[in-house]
Structure 1
Amino acid sequence: MADAAYGLWPLVVLNTLLFIIFAAGFFHPKTTRDWRAMGAYSAFLVALFTEMYGTPLTVYLLGSWLGSRFPLLQDTHAGGHLWNDLTGWSGDPHLSPFHLASYAAIGTGFWLIATAWKHLHEAAQHNHLATSGPYARVRHPQYDGFLLVMIGFLLQWPTIPTLIMFPVLVYVYARLARSEEREVAARFGDQWTAYAADTPAFWPRLRHQLADTAQPPSGTCGPQRPAARR
């Protein structure tokens, strides 16, 4: 190899465990569904860090195919930043627009997971549905947080396995969300129905939310969410 940036399997294990423990500290998994969400995220990290510090399979595959057209595509650690290589960025890869955007996405994702859990925990103490904070905008902010973290890593270090895994994980989280909502609907009935009708699952409606803030309160408390809601 052109440098000693690969074959560092202790770093693969260390970074994988670090980001799993970091996410678990924000997410606080308790239910089987929570652990499934963490498991999907963990599998993504294993695939990511295996190529980042272990064996750069994607670089090898693309290098043999595109190496003559993209001279920056080499089996070095810098060569793993594929968006930089494919767009011709020749500066420090850690200061490229893709890398800076990845920092923002990863940071926002972890912030969203942590903030959503705080509001979820407060609502759970009163056996209510959580509708404040991020839950006022989307029904599943913590899943959104995990997806943002994954998008951030894809902006920073895309690989063939993680690019394939990402849409699969979106589907997994969507199924987990639907399963969760069936349980909440059975428990809270009309309260959940009203909340779900007004709040999108994953993608916030900016104009709708701005219109709602301009309306005076109705004088009644809105629906709230139980501890099982993520």
Structure 2
Amino acid sequence: MSPTAGYGFWLLAAGNAALFIGFAYSFARPLNGRDWRSFGAFSAFIVALFAEMYGFPLTIYLFAGWLQTRWPGVNWFSHDSGHLLEMVARPGINPHFGPFNLLSTVFILVGFWLIAAAWPVLYRAVRRGTLATSGPYARIPHPQYAGFILIMTGFLLQWPTLVTMAMYPVLLVIYFRLAAREEAAAAAQFRAEHAAWAKRVPAWIPRLSSSSRGPAISP
């Protein structure tokens, strides 16, 4: 790709991927094999994302004919056009200030905040051999997984690609399975304490009420 089209910058793609993966690692800091698997899956998603964002726009290349037919006034190989949802909804408008881009920013920031806020709580609990129930764990049982999901959702809204859209449901299954295994292990280890905590905390989405939730269902 010609650099004038906004692509072909592989060093920029690698640098951005390394920056986001390193940023996530500084918050997540995997503690065991399960943590490393979840972090590795997230890292693969980020690499695929930035490879299309700055390297080669595979998704736009494959759909260029259809996109050009539907929206002939748009230069689909300009870098801004990679914000596909914004360009399809409002062609010709600066996509950086559109609703999808703004919502994606919120998701990404909240996701990183969840991961950052959850890690020290989990680290202290592991060191003490106790159940993590404070901080974000007082609202949801798996804030780090929820944080990774929010970040991936935000990037999909901002820059959807065929590869990341294919990876997204697979990664959801991975996180749901890891969460179910961790919850089962915690229930076996902490028994009554875990049962009391599980009644107060919703499975994934926090709520304002303190009503009980049912037992978690493994995907």
The answer to whether the Cα contact below 8 Å between 2:67 and 2:76 also exists between their aligned partners in 1 is no
With CA pairs under 8 Å and 6+ residues apart, which has the higher RCO, 1 or 2?
Answer: 1
Secondary structure of 2:69's match?
Answer: coil
C-alpha distance in 1 between matches for 2:125 and 2:44: 30
C-alpha distance in 1 between matches for 2:75 and 2:9: 20
One-letter amino acid of the structure 2 residue matched with residue 86 of structure 1: V
Determine if the alignment matches structure 1 residue 188 to structure 2 residue 170.
no
TM-score if structure 2 supplies the norm length? 0.89
One-letter amino acid of the structure 2 residue matched with residue 180 of structure 1: E
In structure 1, the partner of 2:124 is 122
C-alpha distance in 2 between matches for 1:161 and 1:21: 22
Determine if the alignment matches structure 1 residue 199 to structure 2 residue 175.
no
Q: What root-mean-square deviation, in Å, do the aligned CA atoms of Structure 1 and Structure 2 show?
A: 1.8
In structure 2, the partner of 1:220 is none
C-alpha distance in 2 between matches for 1:199 and 1:24: 26
TM-score if structure 1 supplies the norm length? 0.85
The answer to whether the Cα contact below 8 Å between 2:106 and 2:154 also exists between their aligned partners in 1 is yes
How far 1:127 sits from its partner (Å)? 2.4
C-alpha distance in 1 between matches for 2:126 and 2:47: 32
Secondary structure of 1:68's match?
Answer: helix
One-letter amino acid of the structure 2 residue matched with residue 66 of structure 1: L
C-alpha distance in 2 between matches for 1:100 and 1:106: 10
Determine if the alignment matches structure 1 residue 106 to structure 2 residue 105.
no
C-alpha distance in 2 between matches for 1:126 and 1:35: 21
How far 1:161 sits from its partner (Å)? 1.2
C-alpha distance in 2 between matches for 1:200 and 1:166: 23
Matched ranges for 1:16-95 at <5 A: 16-71=17-72, 72=74, 74-95=76-97
The answer to whether the Cα contact below 8 Å between 1:89 and 1:96 also exists between their aligned partners in 2 is no
Structure 2 residue runs without a partner (length 5+): 213-219
The answer to whether the Cα contact below 8 Å between 1:70 and 1:85 also exists between their aligned partners in 2 is no
In structure 1, the partner of 2:180 is 178
Provide runs of 4+ in structure 1 moved above 6 Å. Answer: none
C-alpha distance in 1 between matches for 2:153 and 2:12: 21
One-letter amino acid of the structure 2 residue matched with residue 5 of structure 1: G
Identity of aligned residues (%): 51
C-alpha distance in 1 between matches for 2:41 and 2:71: 33
